[in-house]
Chain A
């Protein structure tokens, strides 16, 4: 009986660490492949974007959320549904700009950085930059052009991890001329 229980717990623990460990191996490899941190950051963003444009379908299929009517709704869905579903955490949504086109996601703890310490010679590395690309790619598929960037990072000694999201514009569907 207890052997069964042990097996279950071990599997669960291993599977939650698999993504984190694989992501760490990826960042390590990219740091070897690219000369400087800026290039690694760009690569992580690009890979994140490619993941985001596919992840959105998985998300919409599994979450049953309807179309968001404004950026505030979008923010809530991102924090309370998407982050919860994929990373098991619920960041808080704060620091709204007066125009309602910018907000912050505050992550008390970032699962990607478990077991991670930045070495001294990588101070410009944005370790979790994949997340920004994912957000950008996923939102683009639902007709929103946004900018996402880290403004605080626990890996760099900040108290929390903060992602700043900025709405740029709505992406209109391109209809051929003459059609409605």
Chain B
């Protein structure tokens, strides 16, 4: 079984490498590298979701699925639960992690705030991918006010 630290090391290196390779100095640059990372996270999220046994997938409500992400998925990926889940009961959810492991190694507070989005892109995709397999189309974005706390916003797309 692969140790959790390996994923963190790999993720950090991916951000450094793909971030450099895919950005250009123009304004579109960073966006391109973020979408590459997000896309990879999406595929991994789908693959993780596909491996869940059928019983786990028998959710009754949308909220149950979000709770599953906050508890089971987060524990599997980050060895901790999400710290809070809020919703407007109209398809928008805000998941808050007060000490997001992929941001922990960076200084806390406001330093590196500009760098933070690159470290969140993969995870946004991961959430979006798992939701996709669970039958939910969504848009997932993340914001950081102060490291290492971050919020993931999940907006359910009604088809």
| B:73-112 near A, CB below 8 Å | 73, 75-77, 79
Q: B76: shortest Cβ distance to chain A, in Å? A: 4
| B:1-40 near A, CB below 8 Å | 1-7, 9-14, 16-18, 21-22, 36, 40
**Which stretch from B51-59, B131-139, B143-151 is at the chain A interface?**
B51-59
Complex interface bits, A26-37 against B, C-beta within 8 A gives 1, otherwise 0: 101100010000
Contact B72 A10 (CB under 8 A): yes
| A85: interface (CB < 8 Å) | yes
* Interchain Cβ contacts within 8 Å, total number: 101
**Could you say which residues of chain B place their CB within 8 Å of the CB of A47?**
13-14, 17
Contact A23 B75 (CB under 8 A): no
Contact A26 B2 (CB under 8 A): no
**Could you say which residues of chain A place their CB within 8 Å of the CB of B44?**
18, 21-22, 25
Q: A120: shortest Cβ distance to chain B, in Å? A: 21
Taken together as a complex, chains A and B put the C-alpha atoms of A85 and B17 apart, in Å, by: 25
Contact B10 A19 (CB under 8 A): yes
Taken together as a complex, chains A and B put the C-alpha atoms of A87 and B108 apart, in Å, by: 30
| A51: interface (CB < 8 Å) | yes
| A50: interface (CB < 8 Å) | yes
Contact B2 A18 (CB under 8 A): yes
Contact B13 A29 (CB under 8 A): no
Contact B52 A10 (CB under 8 A): yes
Q: B7: shortest Cβ distance to chain A, in Å? A: 5
Known: A16-B2, A58-B5. A22 touches B11 (CB 8 A): yes
Contact B2 A29 (CB under 8 A): no
Contact B72 A11 (CB under 8 A): yes
**Could you say which residues of chain B place their CB within 8 Å of the CB of A69?**
none
| B63: interface (CB < 8 Å) | no
Partner of A20, one of B2, B52, B79: B2
| A95: interface (CB < 8 Å) | no
**Could you say which residues of chain A place their CB within 8 Å of the CB of B7?**
18-19, 22
Closest residue to A54 on the B side, CB-wise? B9
Taken together as a complex, chains A and B put the C-alpha atoms of A110 and B36 apart, in Å, by: 27
Partner of A26, one of B3, B40, B51, B52: B40
Interface centre among A6, A26, A58 (most CB of B within 10 A): A26
Partner of A86, one of B6, B40, B52: B6
| A:29-77 near B, CB below 8 Å | 29, 33, 43, 47, 50-51, 54-55, 58
Contact B2 A21 (CB under 8 A): no
Q: A: which residues have CB within 8 A of B?
A: 6-7, 10-23, 25-26, 28-29, 33, 43, 47, 50-51, 54-55, 58, 85-88, 111, 130
Nearest first, the 9 A-B pairs at minimum CB distance are A14-B76, A19-B2, A16-B1, A11-B76, A25-B40, A88-B1, A15-B76, A21-B44, A19-B7
Q: B: which residues have CB within 8 A of A?
A: 1-7, 9-14, 16-18, 21-22, 36, 40-41, 43-44, 47-48, 51-53, 55-56, 71-73, 75-77, 79, 122
